[in-house]
């Protein structure tokens, strides 16, 4: 089995040629972007703009309780997230799920439930669960992550919060200060229930779906060692690597968009 691991140097050398090729023929796949925890669809605007400009149909999901959505935290569950994604997909076929961070949990369960409609999952610095795992169960095995020292869990209120002073280090240590400051000042509490809910996956459905992983080499949220373990456990053979923090869509949006466009073909 041959792994494809592309460094940023190799990728940048080929990316403009690849984009011109993508532009010549509109994609027949629908790209569905699922953001992570403490994030929203608006964080993916530059990636989305590039993909649309290259002729790719794109749906960027804003999960309930994120961004401008004010769904009450007490009413948010993993099932609600999954139903929202499935509703957005509808009866579309050849769907490419693009999942970041916690979005990997959501995408995996969506793929299990509507497997015939899913062409591929592209995990970007994302959790890749096995049957019975949750984000929290995976995160507890991550000795390299910085999030533990900044995470505040309020079980009574049903929320998880990252301390303001820890947001930049955990999520975007490589971002310009104004960007990091803005995110630190605007991060909303995350519903706790979806983070703790285990997925139900089978080899016959989720297991048969084509998968790609984009590593974030300088990630303080999901350590590189855990990324490698999840990739190995899932049998993912097609790999990319970016020298980024947990948010490559901020520092490398154009390169990331081209990885997605190439994989969606």
Q: How far apart are CA 79 and CA 125, in angstroms?
A: 22
- Reference 214, options 259, 172, 183; nearest CA is 259
The pLDDT tens digits along the chain (265 residues) read 334 444 443 444 344 444 445 444 556 899 999 999 999 999 999 999 999 999 999 999 999 999 999 999 989 999 999 999 999 999 999 999 999 999 999 999 999 999 999 999 999 999 999 999 999 999 999 999 999 999 999 999 999 999 999 999 999 999 999 999 999 999 999 999 999 999 999 999 999 999 999 999 999 999 999 999 999 999 999 999 999 999 999 999 999 999 999 999 9
CA 250 to chain centre: 13
CB 21 within 8 A of CB 50: no
* Rounded Cα–Cα distance for residues 75 and 120 (Å): 30
What pLDDT, on the 0 to 100 scale, is given for residue 10? 43
Domains and CATH numbers, the chain: 30-264 (3.40.50.1820)
Residue 221, SS3 per DSSP: coil
Residue entry with tokens 């991060």 = 187
CB atoms within 10 A of CB 218: 14
Which tokens is 263 given? 């994989």
Conformation bin of residue 238: beta by default, left when phi > 0, alpha when psi is -120 to 50: beta
Q: Are 89 and 95 in contact (CB under 8 A)?
A: yes
251 vs 198: CA distance, rounded Å? 31
């Amino acid at each position: 089995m041959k792994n494809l691991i592309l460094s940023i140097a190799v990728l940048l050398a080929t990316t403009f040629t690849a984009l011109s090729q993508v532009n010549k023929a509109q994609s027949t796949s629908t790209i569905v972007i699922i953001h992570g925890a403490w994030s929203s669809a608006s964080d993916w605007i530059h990636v989305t703009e590039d993909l649309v400009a290259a002729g790719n149909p794109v749906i960027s999901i804003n999960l309930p309780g994120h961004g401008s959505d004010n769904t009450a935290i007490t009413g948010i569950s993993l099932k609600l997230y999954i139903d929202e994604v499935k509703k957005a997909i509808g009866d579309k076929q050849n769907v490419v799920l693009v999942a970041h961070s916690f979005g990997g949990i959501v995408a995996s369960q969506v793929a299990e439930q509507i497997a015939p409609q899913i062409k591929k999952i592209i995990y970007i610095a994302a959790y890749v669960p096995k049957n019975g795992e949750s984000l929290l169960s995976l995160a507890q095995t991550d000795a390299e992550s910085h999030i533990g020292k900044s995470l505040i869990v309020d079980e009574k209120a049903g929320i998880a919060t990252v301390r303001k002073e820890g947001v930049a280090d955990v999520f975007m240590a490589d971002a310009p200060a104004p960007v990091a400051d803005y995110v630190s000042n605007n991060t909303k509490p995350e519903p706790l229930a979806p983070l703790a809910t285990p997925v139900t996956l089978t080899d016959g459905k989720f297991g048969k779906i084509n998968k790609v992983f984009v590593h974030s080499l300088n990630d303080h949220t999901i350590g590189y060692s855990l990324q490698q373990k999840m990739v190995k456990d899932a049998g993912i053979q097609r790999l990319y690597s970016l020298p980024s923090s947990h948010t490559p869509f901020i520092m490398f949006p154009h390169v990331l968009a081209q990885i997605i466009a190439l994989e969606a073909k």
